[in-house]
């Protein structure tokens, strides 16, 4: 995967946050896009991130680094895209952390569990206009 490139000639370096069932599902899905390389796995359960890292490596892809927090991952390895695959109550906090760091974000619904939390957390005047992409 690391030899492929997108239209701009560069890889998309991804961090998967949450290495449970949904994180493993996203890991399998990104293998369909040769321009994406997983550079980091984030999970507070180190056994989960280590197991997923071993699986990715066994499939012939570079072994991603593992971290207990998104902040540590963003500080240590190159990341362009953050894939949030954690329990729903953590989505908005992790998405905003990634967006505030200038990263693109893939997130499943719901963004948050309550409307009031979304409206209180979301105003981010520095963010560029969001772009939505849906595979055909």
- Beta-carbon contacts of 98 under 8 Å, excluding residues fewer than 6 positions away, are 17, 70, 74, 82, 84, 104, 105
Specify the pTM. 0.81
Under the phi-then-psi rule, with left for phi > 0, alpha for psi from -120 to 50, and beta for the rest, what region is 60? left
> pLDDT at position 87, please?
86
Tell me: pLDDT of 23 over 80: yes
> pLDDT at position 127, please?
58
Our separate counts of H helices and E strands in the chain read 5, 5
Interval 36-90: pLDDT, tens: 999 999 999 999 999 999 999 999 999 999 999 999 999 999 999 999 999 888 8
Higher-scoring residue by pLDDT: 20, 99: 20
Interval 79-135: pLDDT, tens: 999 999 998 888 888 988 998 899 999 988 766 666 555 555 555 556 555 554 545
Say how many residues make up the chain. 136
Under 8 Å between Cβ of 49 and 67: yes
CB burial of 6-23 (b: ≥16 within 10 Å; e: otherwise) equals eeeeebbbbbbbbbeebb
Domains of the chain by range and CATH? 25-121 (3.40.50.720)
């Amino acid at each position: 995967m690391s030899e492929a490139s997108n239209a701009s000639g560069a890889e998309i370096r991804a961090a998967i946050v949450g290495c449970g069932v949904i994180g493993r599902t996203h890991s399998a899905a990104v293998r369909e896009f040769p321009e994406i390389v997983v550079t980091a796995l984030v999970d507070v359960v180190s056994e989960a991130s280590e197991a997923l890292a071993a699986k990715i490596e066994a499939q012939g892809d570079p072994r991603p680094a593992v971290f207990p927090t998104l902040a540590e991952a963003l500080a240590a390895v190159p990341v362009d895209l953050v894939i949030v695959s954690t329990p729903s109550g953590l989505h908005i906090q992790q998405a905003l952390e990634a967006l505030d760091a200038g990263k693109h974000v893939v997130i499943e619904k719901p963004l948050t569990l309550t409307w009031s939390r979304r409206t209180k957390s979301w105003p981010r005047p520095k963010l560029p206009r969001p772009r939505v992409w849906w595979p055909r």
